[in-house]
A = this chain, B = another copy of it.
């Protein structure tokens, strides 16, 4: 029987306040920033076994284990736990909701202390570097100076890349999965249509929907349905749904749910409403659109810091196709950063990064095991050095 993390709790901490406001990369300030996070495993005495999980666009701090009342475990429970690729018997794993989110970390739906009302579109525009700033503050709060690794998929992988480029001295290893260092026109186009659906929903009220007692539910669920098409490969959709009729007994042609794929998308759109905020969707997708870190950071600093990278793509991912990962690999390698690159075979498209795919999990496991070994070698070496003094 596989051991489990068991019960977990999401904590929340105020990391920035009026006395110590958060200064954003764009120059604006946030006077209050709360961050929600979870941890799994035990921090070693040497504080050298910490792994930070960067979540994707609609993820949250609850990456693994079960919270009270959960009907399913955290979103990456297959990856994180005792004996799992990110092995909590040996690692101390931290996951936190990102800035601009809506799952316990301050975002546009939070109360603006200057007005007592939700920020709405007065919330400042964010950059990927801001996510890193806030999560670095969390690490400082937890007494963690260095990370054995930062690990993330999709937007999370982009944050890991930002972290590696702007603060390589803090990262021994960067695991960048199904990510991109610059979105394509098509990527931006899909995001733009999703945002348009949200902002043109009359219930959006220029972002003041909470005050109006409404929610741009139609727009947000349309954005989510659309995004879901891009998360699955065409092959996966064919295998999962094909042209199957949703209810052969009663369904004839009409404008409701005729096909199973329509039922799936509608369900994804509807359930999303219960857990995600439309403004967070706008802010976070816009951060992705503008992300282009190699224009701002010299990757030679990564090589100098000794940071190593694992870059993983999936062969049927067309949201961030392998070419996006190859570009990251090229940029890092040309700066002599040690990079392992793997394109994993999987029918599941972009969603693969969330799934338990043996080759993928073993790749992450092997990379992290080797990272731990290197750390222990260093400890032994310095121990010997100290002993010989």
Any B CB within 8 A of the CB of A15: no
The answer on a CB contact under 8 Å between B192 and A261 is yes
Contacts of A229 in B (CB 8 A): 186, 189-190, 193
Asked whether B225 lies within 8 Å of A289 as measured between CB atoms, the reply is no
Cα distance, A352 to B241, chains bound together (Å): 29
Stretch of A40-48, A99-107, A252-260 on the interface side = A252-260
Min C-beta distance of A209 to chain B, whole Å: 14
Report B-chain residues with C-beta under 8 Å of the C-beta of A192. Answer: 225, 259, 261-262, 265-266
Question: In the complex, what's the smallest C-beta–C-beta distance from A322 to chain B, in angstroms?
Answer: 13
Q: Which of A86-94, A135-143, A195-203 is the interface stretch?
A: A195-203
Q: Flag if B184 contacts A196 (CB, 8 Å).
A: no
A interface, over-half SS = helix
* A222–B225 touching, CB < 8 Å: no
CB-CB under 8 A for A259 and B185, given A193-B225, A193-B265: yes
Residue A13 at the B interface, CB < 8 A?
no
Give the distance in Å from the alpha carbon of A195 to the alpha carbon of B199 in the complex: 18
A234: Cβ under 8 A from any B Cβ: yes
Residues from chain B with a CB closer than 8 A to the CB of A242 are 184-185
Whole-angstrom distance between the Cβ of A73 and the nearest chain B Cβ: 28
Give chain A interface residues in 215-257, CB to chain B under 8 Å.
218, 221-222, 225-226, 229, 232, 234, 237-238, 240-243, 253-255
